[in-house]
Structure 1
Amino acid sequence: MLEAGLTATVSMHVRDADLASAFAETEVEHYPHVLSTPALLGLMERACAKAMVSALSEGQLSVGVNTDMSHTQPTALDVLVSATATLSKVEGALYWFDVEAADPAGIVARARHARAIVDHVQIEQRAERRRIA
């Protein structure tokens, strides 16, 4: 059983694929050459997932089920950004985390994120049933 206060940190250098500008699909879409919110959210989720590893049995993984995020500062290409997740509580089947992301200049985002433990095969089977429905 995981206990409140557990922390985990994951870091990455911002790559071209992580930039908001990489999401443009048409000529009229223009986004800045800074770390995108989706890429940052992924990093924050990875920190939470890392914190949960010891709670998983064989065949299980954790999945994100809820996020409230504020991305307040830009981070440039090639800059190191880190996300630190702190388990705040376990509520039924949900593991709630407070997450902060920072680059060398300071905090760039904060989030409250919930994860659940699921069976790896079952969740993929559920997704497949939805695809063919």
Structure 2
Amino acid sequence: MVREDDCATRWGNDGLMVLSTPAMLGLMEQTCVEVLAPVLAAGEMTVGVGVTLTHAAVAGCGEPVAYRVALTVVGRDVDVDFTVVGPTGTVLGHGSHRRRVVDRAAFLRRLPPPTG
């Protein structure tokens, strides 16, 4: 469902109450994380390392959208082909996303300490 926070107006396009490209990308990444979580070993997580995205059509605030994904595993990488569809089956967007399986503790140790 396209929420008000997902709309382009939040990103500076005043009055444009349609699914924004940043929200489409973020929801796609969230979908990938959720789909991959059950198949990861204890202590593993995935991180995004690449993406291509075409935003092809609009969906208005309140409209349902669905993400369809197909996964291909290549070593520690997972290539995700995705399609975003509206309620009538209209393709709203499509692309590919690469995620890498990493050791959570080792990855978090490499991050700089938070500031502020």
> Normalising by structure 2, what TM-score?
0.85
Asked if the contact 1:102/1:109 (under 8 Å) is kept, the reply is yes
Q: CA deviation at 1:51?
A: 2.6
CA contact (8 A) 1:80 1:103 kept: yes
Q: Take 1:23 and 1:109, find their aligned partners in 2: how far apart are those partners?
A: 18
What is the match of residue 36 of structure 1?
20
Quick check: 1:72 aligned with 2:56?
Answer: yes
The whole-number CA distance in structure 2 between the counterparts of 1:123 and 1:21 is 35
Shift of 1:124: 2.6
Which deviations, in whole Å up to 9, do the C-alpha atoms of 1:20-41 show, x marking residues without a partner?
11123xxxx6472211111111
Measured in 1, the distance between the counterparts of 2:102 and 2:61 equals 35
Please, which runs of 5 or more residues in structure 2 have no aligned partner? none
| Aligned counterpart, 2:85 | 102
Q: How far apart, in 1, do the equivalents of 2:85 and 2:111 lie?
A: 34
Shift of 1:49: 2.1
Aligned residues: 114
Taking only the aligned residue pairs, the percentage that are identical comes to 29
| C-alpha distance in 2 between matches for 1:109 and 1:49 | 19
Higher relative contact order (CA 8 A, sep 6+): 1
Task: Give the number of the structure whose residues are more often strand, by fraction.
Answer: 1
Q: 1:74 to 1:116 in 2, by over 3 A?
A: same
CA RMSD of aligned residues (A): 1.9
Tell me, yes or no, if structure 1 residue 23 matches structure 2 residue 11. Answer: yes
Query: 1:121 corresponds to which residue?
Result: 105
